Every structure is written in C-alpha cells, then in structure tokens.
Amino acid sequence: MVAVARGIGALEGDLFDEIASLKKQLNAVVLAHYYQDPDIQDIADFIGDSLQLAQEAAKTSADVIVFCGVHFMAETAKILNPTKQVLVPDLKAGCSLADGCPAPAFQRFKDKYPGHFVVSYVNCSAAVKAISDVIVTSSNAKKIVARIPADRPIIFAPDQHLGRYVMKETGRDMVLWPGSCQVHELFSLKKLVQLESRHPDALVIAHPECEAPVLERAHHIGSTRSLLDFAVSSSAKTFIVATEPGIMHQMEKKTEGSGKVFIAAPPDSACACNECPHMKLNTLEKVYLAMRTRQPEITVDPEISKKALVPIQRMLEWS
C-alpha cells in the first residue's frame, strides 16, 4: 500500500492520463454523480443524477464500471450488471438515508401496514430494495406514485421530506418512514431568507430532500439534473442553490460566459456540512487506485440481488 501511495505521489500531474489509459486497458466506464469533486466529474465518461446513472449502468457495454458516488448507487449498478465488475473509490461512502433504514427494522415497519404498496427511494440498501414494490428517485417519484392504483395504500421510505413533498404534489396519502438526509436537513431557513433579501433577483432552486419550509421558498424543486437544467435554461442571472454544492461545478461549466452566479444555500452553522461527507470520501487518487488494483469491488448477495432487481426494473419501465 505504501509503495502504491508513493507511486501516486510521483504521478500527481499524470493522474488524468493514467486514468484515461486504465479506462482503455480495462474497457471501463467511469460514472459520476453531480456531488463528486470537480476533478472526478472532469474525468467521468458520464455524469448524472441517480436515475440517469442507473439508466446508464443498465445499458453500458463496458466490462468494468467505476462508480463515483455512494454505496447504494454502485450497488444498484451491480444489481443491474451482476456479471460485471463494479469498482468504487471508497467502500465507506455511505448515505444517512440508506444507513438509517436497516432492512430488518424496515420489514417490521412494513408488517404493521399489510396490503400497502411499498415505494422505496433509491437511497436505500439492496436488502431494503428487495422487500419493496417499486424504487423511485427524486426525478421520477411523483410520476411513479401517481401510477399506483388510487385504492392502494402506500408506504414511502426512507426519506420523509421527499415523501411529504410527493404527497403534496400528487395528493396521495402515504405512510412515511422517518428518515432524512444529513446534508439537506441542515439548510437554515433564517439564513436563506437573509441571503434572498441581499439578492432580491435571485431564484432559489432546491432538492426535494430539503425540509418543507426551505422547499416553500423555492422557485424550482427537482433532482440534481433538473436543478442543472433549470439553471442553464432560466433567464435569471443569480441562483441560490439548496443542495450539495458539487452540482455547482456543472452549473458553472455549462453557463460559462453568461454572467450567471450560483450561491450555495447556507447550512445552520458555520460548518461545511452542506457538503456530503460520504460523496466527498472519493478522490481522484482513490479512483486511480481502484482502477489499478481493481478493488474495492461492490458485491451483492445473489438472492437479494435477484429480488432487488424486480422493483428497480419496474422503476426503469415506469420512468
């Protein structure tokens, strides 16, 4: 490991070239989420929100998928490609939503509501997906919930804020698992209002994992991809961005020269806790190492994988 680390030190400036040549050697595709460090986004073959990344994983012809995001996203890619190798830069990159909804506790929760249709946000483990009826992401949750027969009661897990937003938008009542995202629940309403008063022409754009009072101030609510598209196509010049600031790299790149300004919505304290600590565990060096050593690798129990594939495929069909 030390030798490898020393090797990296000598490589520094060549990491981009080394990763490019490893991609060819392994016939690998690098998929990255919008919350990844700019360097990782810049070497990725494809950048997207959770739905787009799952769709891309489902159709890739690469032999190796290098997934730069968090564990549940890479796990979804593996479930869709059980025979391919799925590498991640850091196996410890989790998610507070997935970690806060263990499958045995979720099964007990489900047992209290017999006959309910179980809708699980993609931010959950493969074991939770395996006991769900359909998976949703922030970009298709409204559409998918609206398709469920009106007389069928629904459980929605694990994000209560996304769940409440979907309830409001679709008019469907749902039983909510009480989970939340440690990043999105920390945006300060008070500081957001103060920021808006300093930038009266700014539009607030927010991810639906934010709490309801923050969402109420938003001019546009959507997945990371939807926020990006809105920022690019809007005629406004200033945007207050209420989601993980990694997305601002693509916003700035895609609007270069337009004079558009993106301001990160402030968290409750002076910390950098609007940055996802899990997403930020990944670094360019770790991407390189994962490709060079072909580890760490995502594995999913074959039985769980088979069961989890059913609601994931239903999501892809219904999207």
Positions touching ligand SF4 (CB under 6 A) are: 70, 95-97, 123, 181-184, 209, 244, 276, 278-279
Residue 8 or 244 with smaller CB distance to ligand 13P: 244
Pick between residue 100 and residue 311 the one whose CB is nearest to ligand SF4.
100
Q: Are 16 and 43 in contact (CB under 8 A)?
A: yes
Q: Are 193 and 212 in contact (CB under 8 A)?
A: no
**Residue 223 binds which entry of ligand SF4, ligand 13P, none, with Cβ cut-offs from 5 to 8 Å by kind?**
ligand 13P
Task: Specify the residue, 19 or 73, whose C-beta has the smaller distance to ligand 13P.
Answer: 73
Minimal distance in Å, beta carbon 277 to ligand SF4? Answer: 8
Q: For residue 154, report the phi and psi dihedrals to the nearest 5 degrees.
A: -125, 140
137 binds ligand 13P (CB under 6 A): yes
- Which neighbouring-strand residues pair with 255? none
What is the closest distance, in whole angstroms, from the C-beta atom of residue 206 to ligand SF4 in the complex? 13
Residue 224 binding: pick among ligand SF4, ligand 13P, none (C-beta 5-8 Å cut-off by kind): ligand 13P
- What is the smallest separation between the CB atom of 294 and ligand 13P, expressed in angstroms? 26
- Binding at 50: pick from ligand 13P, ligand SF4, none (beta carbon under 5-8 Å per type): ligand 13P
* 41 sits near ligand 13P (criterion: CB under 6 A): no
Q: Please count the other Cβ atoms lying within 10 Å of the Cβ belonging to residue 306.
A: 13
Name which position in 32, 36, 40, 49 contacts ligand 13P (CB under 6 A): 49
Site residues, ligand 13P (CB under 6 A): 34, 49-50, 123, 137-138, 181, 207, 209, 223-224
